Amino acid sequence: MALPITWAAFIVLLTAVFLKAIVTRGRRRTYNLPPGPKPWPIIGNLNLIGELPHRSMHELSKRYGPLMQLRLGSLPAVVGSSVDMARFFLKTSDAAFADRPRFAIGKYGAFDASDIMWCQYGPYLREARRICAAELFSAKRLQTFELIRGEEVRGMLRGLLEASGCAVRLRDYVQNMTLGVISRMVLGRKYIGQEEEGGSPPVLTPAEFREMVEEFLALHGASNIGDFIPWLDWLDLQGYVRRMKRMNRKFHQFLDRVLDEHDRRRRLEGEGFVARDLVDVLLQQADDPNLEVQLTRDNVKAIVQDALLGGSDTAAATIEWAMSELIRNPKVLGKAAEELDCVVGRERLVTEGDLPALPYIEAILKETFRLHPVAPTLVPHLAREDASVDGFDIPAGTAVFVNVWWIGRDPALWDAPEEFRPERFVGSKIDVKGQDFELLPFGSGRRMCPGVGHGMKVTLLSIANLLHGFEWRLPDGIKVEELSMEEIFLLAMPRKDPLEAVVEPRLQSHLYMCA
């Protein structure tokens, strides 16, 4: 008796699939993968990655070596934990690892991965980086923004002066300062907390914007299970995708207001219009039909959002870590104050012109980068093609993490690596511009952070003025050795608990009031 045609077709189809699998398997290349822990079914090695992935990866690399294979659900990944591996991924074979994994945060939190951080490597990324490099972070443009940086730092100092004698939460002051700087550079003015023309309420209050930013950072540091086990993605088990969409709507609304205001000014000024900030430049580029890559309105929003958040919270986190380490190390703090008194004196505040003559302050910043990199495993890269290193194969589609947190603490590279010793960088040629792989706070290669120059200027000027302008101590009853130095894994790795300290002015009061 013949089987029904549907069952016969099913058996034929099943046989064909089975035979194709056998043939494909026979042709499939056999890879010699790096060593790593044996993955579990479905979850792979996700059970081995804790709340601080950089520390979990380091513990595993102590067993499996500086090049380690992991399976994060269905996503293959490798972790490089040495200078040689960092150089291979970020320089030697940079082009092969220039893509990004397609994570939900890029799709829902970065305007369909069209920002500089999450977009795939290609013409669009090159165009976006070119615009930011020329209009925001070039040496010439950074020089024109010196007045803005100085004004916002002095505003921070005035706020601290008003709170002198009391315990202050430094993070609040530093975040407002860094956001003020980058907002004026990118948007032309602050928008946040600033009344609109005619006395109407501000677009956003500082508290509202801070809530948006904190959600943005938290979601960038979250491990969304759907990124690693795609067939669970539609369930959104942790609720992260819902939160990403809600956060993105808020940024949409805020950035629409900003872009609409810039468009109105362009129309009013007509042919006499001159671009004043990055938003103006991007909107002009979006209207240019001759560009290799046409920018959409959402592309403009994505690049603006990237510049705003990447240029504010990373710097703020670094400044807070530096001040925490200095309070824990009074001798270092005293030596820094001595350098400032010698070079600057006590009759004025520090300016950017003083920075080249303050090598110890720069050494403090580099030592902070070494111990507390804001992106401890950098933003993950993705292999665009098969590659090989040290006899091991890395197939296309593999995510790559570079553990710069451990490289900065490797005893093979650093003497007493757990100690805060800025002296190690005094006279050292090690720089942070991506060519010295012992110290990579901004990454290296094609996906290196484009804002290195801006980040260095803001952090150095801020740290120098905070040390020159105030005496710092912990609140009564708290000993230096009791100051927690725990971190939390977000987009920018900040202190788990914000630093609270008592400030007392070192200079005459009128100096803080200088415009």
What are the C-alpha distances in Å from 63 to residues 36, 38, 68, 299, 413? 8, 13, 9, 43, 19
The helix or strand, by DSSP H or E, that contains position 343, with its residue range, turns out to be: helix 330-343
Give the span between the Cα atoms of 115 and 118, in whole angstroms: 6
* H helix count then E strand count, the chain: 19, 9
Return the pLDDT at 202.
Answer: 67
Q: Contact 71/89 with Cβ under 8 angstroms?
A: no
pLDDT of residue 10: 41
Q: Is 449 annotated as a binding residue?
A: yes
Q: In what order do the strands lie in the sheet with 399-402?
A: 67-72, 75-80, 399-402, 381-382
Sign of the Cα pseudo-torsion (18, 23, 28, 30, in order): positive
Task: Check whether 489 has a pLDDT greater than 80.
Answer: yes
If pLDDT is split at 50, 70 and 90, which confidence band does 207 have?
Answer: confident
Contact 307, 136 (CB under 8 A): yes
For residues 126-130, average pLDDT: 94
Q: Report residue 89 as tokens.
A: 């991924």
Show the domains of the chain with their CATH numbers: 104-512 (1.10.630.10)
Residue range 248-260: average pLDDT? 94
pLDDT tens per residue, range 77-101: 999 999 999 999 999 999 999 999 9
pLDDT digits (tens, 9 = 90+) for 362-380: 999 999 999 999 999 999 9
> Model-level pTM?
0.92
Of the listed ranges 239-243, 304-308, 335-339, the least confidently predicted one is 304-308
342-358 pLDDT, tens per residue?
999 999 999 999 999 99
DSSP 475: P
For residue 288, the model assigns a pLDDT of 87
